[in-house]
């Protein structure tokens, strides 16, 4: 696996090594030892795996996160189709606070994104029938779940979703006093 640092502390793009032959291909998508070697202070234990199916191109999901003390680290992989994946830095005092990182992840490129605690996550489908697998190091905690609108004026995101849930469309806007989580 190749771990690529980003301009966002703790956020990585991970490119698995794909080994192919006449049977097809094989790749490792996680190894605790390798993650501990490549990611400073990696101590996640995956406790929940979620699977998202999105029927139509142009579907938006996000920005979702869990508040303290239920913040999550996520490892995200696209297993069908493709998405533009977004990580929004909400970490108080971070030099990339309220900045957005995006990367295309797809069934073809097999790229994964490792998002540490303190980020909100969202994605826009680029193809019909796109599916994601998410590994989480924290259980879902409904009372701590929050969201931020993709078109919040404090963010710089230029997308126009075709399909969005009422919940995601109605997240509260950030205030100028928002200091992070």
Spatial CA neighbour of 126 closest among 151, 148, 113, 109: 109
**CA 165 – CA 62 distance, rounded (Å):** 9
Which residue numbers are catalytic? 64, 134
Q: How far is CA 73 from the centre of its chain?
A: 9
**CA 63 – CA 119 distance, rounded (Å):** 9
Dihedral sign from CA coordinates of 115, 119, 120, 125: negative
Contacts of 56 (CB under 8 A, 6+ apart): 125, 128, 162, 163
């Amino acid at each position: 696996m190749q771990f690529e640092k980003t301009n966002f502390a703790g956020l990585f793009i991970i490119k698995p090594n794909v080994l192919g032959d006449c049977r097809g291909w094989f790749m490792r998508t996680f190894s605790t030892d390798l993650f501990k070697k490549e990611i400073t202070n990696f101590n996640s234990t995956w406790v929940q795996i979620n699977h998202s199916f999105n029927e139509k191109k142009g579907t938006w999901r996000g920005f979702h996160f869990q508040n303290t003390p239920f913040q999550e680290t996520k490892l995200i992989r696209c297993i069908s189709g493709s998405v533009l994946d977004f990580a929004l830095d909400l970490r108080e005092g971070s030099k990339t606070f309220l900045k957005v990182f995006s990367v295309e992840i797809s069934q073809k490129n097999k790229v994964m994104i490792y998002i540490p605690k303190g980020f909100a996550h969202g994605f826009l489908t680029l193809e019909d029938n796109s599916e994601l697998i998410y590994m989480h190091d924290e259980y879902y905690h409904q009372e701590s779940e929050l969201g931020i609108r993709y078109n919040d004026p404090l963010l710089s995101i230029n997308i126009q979703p075709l399909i969005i849930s009422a919940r995601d469309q109605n997240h509260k806007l950030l205030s100028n006093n928002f200091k992070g989580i």
